[in-house]
Structure 1
Amino acid sequence: MSPCLKISLPLALLAGLFVCAPAAAQRAQAERAQRTAEIPVCSQSLGAIAVDEPPGRNWWSGQQLSSPSALIKLFVNRSRCFTLVDRGRGMVRMQAERDLAASGDLRGGSNIGRGQIRAADYVLVPDLISQNNRSSGNRIGGLLGGMIGNRTAAAVLGGIDINRKTADVLLTVTDMRSSEQVAMAEGHATHTDLGWSGGAAVFRGGLAGGGATGYADTEIGQVITLAYLQAYTDLVSQLGGLPGDASAANHQQAVTMQKPGRLLRNADGTDGAVRDLEVGMMLYPTGNRAELMWEVDDELGNRGWVNSTLFGLAR
């Protein structure tokens, strides 16, 4: 039997009815491909980003899907808005390699050591607000079969389900230094398809690459993909407000006094000192510097200058 079945019936309501699951699949695949191609591309990277696992329960394995973080990484890579840093399985393997280096088991000159890991400026967290794998499902065979009065046609139509699959998702970008949520976008997608009982139309495409298993060859996976595509496209449009250098744009890292000193009113020492500083005191650099002198705030709100040879980065 042809995959695209035409049923000619005397009723005007059903005349020319086409039941073509592959055609619906092709339309969904084409829509996904178009939206993927429409992801905006940034002219330069805005920093390094890690894609985290969604919080809460593992909802994706029940849908025979891989973690959506793999899907989001594909979008991030295509947009070129960030440099991806691995904080998942790749990080675990990297740490194991560093343990080998620390134990002396690697060859000399391997160039693996401390201070090489790039800091993540942001973390992107994908989440699923809601998904419905079978909402508004209706078997129309009984209704139309009774109208037709034809057993053969009724049996054919009895295998048709109308399924409305929906997904609502959320993407959040958090600044790793300040903990501020700098961007947030929602995505919604739905797909109505005519499919056969026991074998609904299956959408196939190229999204299985990059570990995004199931999103290319399951119906609910296709819908969730479209929702995340919408959310990420909207997210990229919000990124114009992010600084080009996230590290420089954030407050300086706190420092701790390692030797006794004084908080001076001016960098050159004129006008005396604001207060004495003891070992262990926490100070917060403002970013202003004059050679070895740094402008800082103390924990009481006093502002002044201190020699940078007297403190170290807080740990």
Structure 2
Amino acid sequence: MRTNQLKSCLLAVCVSASSLLAGCADMQVGGGKNPVGGAAAGAASTGAASALEHCPHPLGTLAVEENTSDPWYALLTNQYHLPSTVPLIRLMIQQSNCFVVVDRGQAMNSMMGERDLNASGELRQTSHMDKGQMVAADYIVTPSIQFSQNTGGAGGALAALGGSYGAILGAIAGSMKSSEASTTMMLTDTRSGVQVAAAQGSAKNIDFGVAGLFDHFGSAGASLGAYSETPEGKVIAAAFFDAYNQMVKAVREYAPQRVAGGLGAGGTLGVDGSANSSAAATNSAAGGYSLADAQGKLAQLGLYRSKVDGVPGPGTSRAISTFQKANGLPVSGQLDAATIGALQAR
């Protein structure tokens, strides 16, 4: 009877302490399993977490690229003894159906080996290992772990209760720790190099390292001991789960960023010595022909339909490019001296 009372007391202390430590958690994982699990085959999946964001149609193809030279990767593999995050993230992405995953890892190297065999003539002619079959990755997602740490429990306070019970309770609290992680995921367009999305995720777990304390209590030991199985792995997976969900929510509302004159055309800040400042000087020297003058002429020609305000923008750049192409000029979308001359001649 006394043993059962002691077991109940200890369990109550553990639950109470867990509740106190978990109070400020961003995303609770508890002692449960990794939130990323199950399987995926094409658009079908089994065992996916119900909280995982899902898309009715994929938004494009995607490859996952891990920077193994970053300090977080050494921490992941050397201190926590956890494998690469790529398989975990790829499974989660495929289960969500938001992107079609393409391989750019070890399987890619094996595929290239098959192509080398085909090029050498070793493969059968019916193998159909031809060029032009591989799918391009529209986007690259880059995962990273920003923060992961363990904070110890408060064993001393409970041990001060004295006696054997106080020692056991102190050992429990001393072996209880809070594991937390913060992760980021960056989504980059492969054709332009533009970062189209970024998301941060976080999670917190409570780990009880008390497997050895309850060996003489039977089943209670096995139940609580499970909490000490790779808590870092569980919490890191949960943080990536959170980051991916945040990213999917953001890309559903995606609106492209626009720069007057077009992306990568020099920007609008007019830094001294830049292409934009040189173009402005050329325009000023060319008889004072302004951008508003060009917009007015392009509007007369039916090429420009926006407000004539002298402010550069995508519509102006598009109209200039159309005019340049129609008149055999280099197509830049910029109001250069040759374009000004052609406009003035109309």
Between the aligned partners of 1:172 and 1:47, the Cα distance in structure 2 is 15
What letter corresponds to residue 331 of structure 2 in structure 1? D
Partner of 2:35: 32
- Secondary structure of 2:187's partner? strand
Q: Secondary structure at the match of 1:44?
A: coil
* Cα 1:19/1:6, change in 2 over 3 Å: farther
Q: Cα offset for 1:71?
A: 1.2
- 1:10-49 → structure 2 map (5 Å cutoff): 17-19=12-14, 27-29=30-32, 32=35, 36-49=49-62
The match for 2:63 is: 50
Aligned to 2:77, which of 61, 64, 72? 61
CA deviations over 1:87-107 (Å, ceiling 9, x no partner): 000100000000000000000
TM-score (norm: length of structure 1): 0.63
2:85 partner letter: P
Please list every run of 5 or more consecutive structure 1 residues that lacks an aligned counterpart in the other structure.
205-216, 244-249, 252-285, 305-315
CA distance 1:296–1:60, shift in 2 (3 Å): farther
Q: Conserved in 1, the CA contact under 8 Å of 2:31 and 2:207?
A: no
Structure 1 pair 187/198, CA: closer, same or farther in 2 (3 Å)? farther
Q: Which whole-Å deviations, capped at 9, do the CAs of 1:127-149 have from their partners, x for residues lacking one?
A: 011110x22x0242x432332x3
For structure 2, the residue ranges without an aligned partner over 5 or more in a row are 20-27, 37-46, 214-223, 256-261, 264-317, 340-346
- 8 Å Cα contact 2:143/2:184 also seen in 1: yes
2:82 is equivalent to residue 82 of structure 1: no
For residues 184-232 of structure 1, give each alpha carbon's deviation from its aligned partner in whole angstroms, at most 9, with x where no partner exists.
Answer: 110111112333176884459xxxxxxxxxxxx5101001111111111
CA-CA distance at 1:29 after TM superposition = 1.9
Question: What's the counterpart of residue 236 of structure 1?
Answer: 248
Give me the whole-angstrom Cα distance separating, in 2, the residues matched to 1:119 and 1:139: 53
SS state at 1:159 partner: helix
1:114 counterpart residue number: 131
3-state SS of 1:90 partner? helix
Distance 1:40 1:6 in 2: 45
In the alignment, the residues of structure 2 paired with residue 238 and residue 26 of structure 1 have an alpha-carbon distance, to the nearest angstrom, of 23
Cα gap change, 1:5/1:108 in structure 2, threshold over 3 Å: closer, same or farther? farther
Closer, same or farther in 2 for the Cα pair 1:296/1:88, shift >3 Å? farther
Bigger fraction of residues in strand = 1
C-alpha distance after superposition, 1:5-26 (max 9, x if no partner):
75279xxxx6973547xx9999
For the aligned residues, what is the CA RMSD? 4.1
The 1:115–1:220 alpha-carbon spacing in structure 2 relative to 1, beyond 3 Å, is same
Deviates more, 1:106-115 or 1:29-38: 29-38
Change (3 A) 1:129 1:15: closer
Partner SS, residue 28 of structure 1: coil
Q: Give the Å deviation of 1:75.
A: 1.0
Per-residue deviation, 1:110: 1.2
**Is the 2:178–2:206 Cα contact (8 Å) retained in structure 1?**
yes
Equivalent runs, 1:146-225 vs 2, <5 Å: 146-147=160-161, 149-151=162-164, 153-160=165-172, 161-196=175-210, 201-202=225-226, 217-225=229-237
Partner SS, residue 41 of structure 1:
coil
In 2, distance between residues paired with 1:89 and 1:193?
Answer: 34
CA distance in 2, matches of 1:69, 1:179: 21
Matching residue of 1:297 = 331
Larger fraction in helix = 2
Question: 1:5 and 1:103, CA in 2 relative to 1: closer, same or farther beyond 3 A?
Answer: farther
Kindly indicate whether the alpha-carbon contact (under 8 Å) linking 2:178 and 2:205 is maintained by their aligned counterparts in 1. Answer: yes
**Aligned with 1:125: secondary structure?**
strand
Change in CA separation of 1:52 and 1:31 when aligned onto 2, cut-off 3 Å: closer
Matched pairs, number? 238
